Amino acid sequence: MFGKLVCLLALAAGMLIADLPKLGGTGRGERLLYGALCAVVLYLAVIFVTDAPLPNLDICSIGSSDLPNCSSGDSTRRNPNRTR
């Protein structure tokens, strides 16, 4: 978990150091989309660091019932055994 956190923080710091000075000079649409993408990054980062079985592209959640891997409906795939 520590390794994952360090990796994520290093990447996030690099991204923000590169982009923040330029972000002020861009349009409103760009800033809004940048914020939205950062929110998605935060959500996926939580899934990555905590291994939480939250909805993702391979685990779709509809109401209270999870539909792991929408394509096959195989219930054993929920929060698949992460190989790392």
Write phi, then psi, for 60 (nearest 5 degrees). Answer: -95, 135
Q: Is 80 a binder of another protein (CB under 8 A)?
A: yes
Number of residues near another protein (by CB under 8 A): 37
Within 8 A by CB and 6+ apart from 31, the residues are 23
Q: Give the integer Cα–Cα distance in Å for 72 and 76.
A: 11
A 10 A CB-CB count for 68 gives 19
Write phi, then psi, for 32 (nearest 5 degrees). Answer: -65, -45
Tell me the per-residue interface mask from 13 to 52 with another protein, x by CB under 8 A, - otherwise.
-xx--xx--xx--xx-xx--xx--xx-xx--xx-xx----
Q: How far is the CB of 72 from another protein (least distance, A)?
A: 6
Which residues of this chain interact with another protein, rule CB under 8 A? Answer: 3-4, 7, 11-12, 14-15, 18-19, 22-23, 26-27, 29-30, 33-34, 37-38, 40-41, 44-45, 47-48, 56-58, 69, 71-72, 77, 80-84
